[in-house]
Amino acid sequence: MGLVVVAEGVEDAATLERLRALGCDMIQGFLISRPLATGDVERWVRESEWMAAPERKVLKRVGAA
């Protein structure tokens, strides 16, 4: 059907890993960021590990000790 699955409300690494195993395409939630004021969004996009180049993404490291 060509659908993209987005999980909302992801708050921890365990949930992220389970969603990954289930083939979820995208996530949103407090794991990525708490709500931001409008003026803070640009800085978050520049500095967040979630916005890093694919080879550096935190998604590959979440849950690692």
State the Cα–Cα distance between residues 16 and 60, nearest whole angstrom. 11
Residue 65 lies in a domain: no
| Count of structural domains, the chain | 1
Q: What is the pLDDT of residue 8?
A: 95
User: Does 1 fall in a domain?
Assistant: no
Closest by CA to 58, choosing from 31, 34, 38, is: 31
Please check whether residue 37 lies inside any domain of the structure.
yes
Question: Using 50, 70 and 90 to split pLDDT, how confident is the model at 55?
Answer: low
CA dist., res. 53 & res. 50, Å (int): 9
Region 3-18 average pLDDT = 93
- Residue 31's domain spans which residues? 6-60
Written as six digits, the tokens of 48 are: 């967040």
Specify if 29 maps to a domain: yes
